[in-house]
Amino acid sequence: MSISMTSPVTGGAQTGFTAPTYPIVADWNLDGRSKQYVVSGTLGGTQVGVTTHSVNSPFTGRWRRPPVWKTAAQAFVNGVTGRFSKVPYNECDWLTRKGAQIALDQWMVNEMRTTSKIYAGTETYDAPNVRALVSFHIGGLSQQSAGFGDMMISGVFGA
């Protein structure tokens, strides 16, 4: 299965938002190893003050894979111990960019990124545990969506 997002994207819970949804359209492939989507159209739910994509206020999500996949065969084996060392890894990431104002008509682009670092060979030798890593990570982000947003606004983890 490949990454192919469908519209609309259901947003995670956030304080002050009710059932947020984000209509997306595919954007140009940036570099042959990425897929980018733009939030464009009418936002769903209640999210007062949120804007969709524009030049001054981008609202995009980009998935990226490594330029070349590394394999376990590229790992260095210590001649004395016989153990692997210097095992290569593959990095994939999900980057969301959203413009926001710091003052009237003064826009900055905020970013939020999730990057995976998966050691070559684990995807074949121990695929269930790689999947568990992804499942728990996304589940934690989903479960704590509002708390994470609250912390970014208040600067406090809470009790």
- On the question of pLDDT at 158 being above 70, the answer is no
pLDDT tens digits, one per residue of 25-79: 999 877 889 999 999 999 999 999 999 999 999 999 999 999 999 999 899 989 8
Query: How does DSSP assign 9-52, residue by residue?
Result: EEPPP-TT-EEEEE-EEE---SSSSEEEEEE-SPPEEE-TT---
Amino acid at 113: R
Contact 71, 121 (CB under 8 A): yes
List, in order of start, the domains of the chain with CATH numbers: 9-50+59-154 (3.30.380)
Other CB atoms within 10 A of residue 5 CB: 13
- On the question of pLDDT at 140 being above 90, the answer is no
Cα angle 36, 47, 108 (rounded to 5 degrees) comes to 55
pTM listed for this prediction: 0.86
- Mean pLDDT confidence for 133-142: 89
Contact 35, 17 (CB under 8 A): no
pLDDT for 143: 87
Pick the more confident residue, 103 or 28.
103
For residues 100 and 54, give the distance between their C-alpha atoms in angstroms, rounded to a whole number.
Answer: 11
- On the question of pLDDT at 123 being above 90, the answer is yes
For residues 21 and 112, give the distance between their C-alpha atoms in angstroms, rounded to a whole number.
Answer: 18
- On the question of pLDDT at 97 being above 90, the answer is yes
For residues 128 and 150, give the distance between their C-alpha atoms in angstroms, rounded to a whole number.
Answer: 33
pLDDT for 1: 56
